[in-house]
């Protein structure tokens, strides 16, 4: 997923051709698979952050047209790092995509509050319908990933993600409860 980084893009003769090639291979791989939802994780190398390695810049904009060609149902996109860019790119994605929103920072020692996580989701809700969003951590703190995030810390991060989801559900319920009831005429 480094193909969004402007520096990395300069290393390719034709970065769009490289992205197109990747999409073609994924589509070839999933061709004919039916009856299950297919997903692609767009790694921004959050795992690298979790391991203390270099982070990469560049928003998703340069690859949106390629993403729209994917024959999958779900995209998991990392958005905890400012380098990920603006969530307005969601408006450019196909309307049938579900989005796994990377909203939990995986950086060791950094545990987002439920409110911080909910704030990221609220930003996404400006561009996506709630039913299209699932909450995810950015990748990188899974056991065996090479990250130095302890199991206890990963658990705390996921508990805060759950609390954020509950907070957002309460807000949505309150908003629905404050709307006038539909008449049955």
Q: What is the structure's pLDDT at 1?
A: 46
Give the span between the Cα atoms of 31 and 168, in whole angstroms. 36
**Helices 151-177 and 114-125 meet at what angle, rounded to 10?**
50
Q: Options 2.60.40.10, 3.40.50.720, 3.50.30.40, 3.20.20.210; which CATH number does 2-169 get?
A: 3.20.20.210
Q: Which residues contact 112 (CB under 8 A, 6 or more apart)?
A: 80, 104, 105, 157, 160
Amino acid 84: pLDDT: 87
Mean pLDDT of the chain: 86
**pLDDT per residue as tens digits for the range 7-23:** 888 888 898 998 999 99
138 has a pLDDT exceeding 70: yes
Where do the structural domains in the chain lie, given as residue ranges?
Answer: 2-169
Residue 179 has pLDDT above 90, yes or no: no
Mean pLDDT of 127-150: 82
Indicate the pLDDT class of residue 140, thresholds 50, 70 and 90. low
Task: Give 108-136 pLDDT, tens digit per residue.
Answer: 889 999 999 999 999 999 999 999 999 99
Question: In this structure, what token pair is assigned to residue 110?
Answer: 């950094």
* pLDDT surpassing 60 at residue 182: no
CA distance 133 to 150: 27
């Amino acid at each position: 997923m480094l193909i969004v980084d402007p520096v990395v893009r300069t290393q390719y003769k034709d970065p769009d051709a490289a992205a197109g090639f990747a999409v073609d291979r994924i589509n070839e791989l999933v061709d004919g698979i039916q009856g299950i939802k297919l997903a692609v994780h767009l790694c921004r190398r959050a795992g690298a952050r979790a391991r203390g390695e270099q982070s990469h810049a560049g928003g998703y904009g340069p690859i949106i047209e390629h993403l729209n060609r994917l024959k999958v149902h779900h995209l998991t996109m990392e958005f905890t790092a400012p380098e990920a860019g603006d969530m307005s790119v969601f408006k450019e994605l196909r309307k049938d995509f579900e989005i796994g929103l990377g909203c939990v920072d995986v950086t060791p020692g950094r545990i987002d509050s439920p409110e911080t996580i909910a704030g990221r989701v609220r930003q996404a809700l400006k561009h996506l319908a709630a039913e299209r969003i699932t909450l995810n951590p950015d990748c990188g703190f899974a056991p065996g990933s090479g990250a130095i995030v302890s199991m206890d810390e990963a658990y705390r991060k996921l508990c805060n993600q759950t609390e954020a989801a509950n907070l957002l559900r309460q807000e949505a319920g309150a908003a629905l409860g404050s709307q006038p009831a539909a008449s049955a005429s």
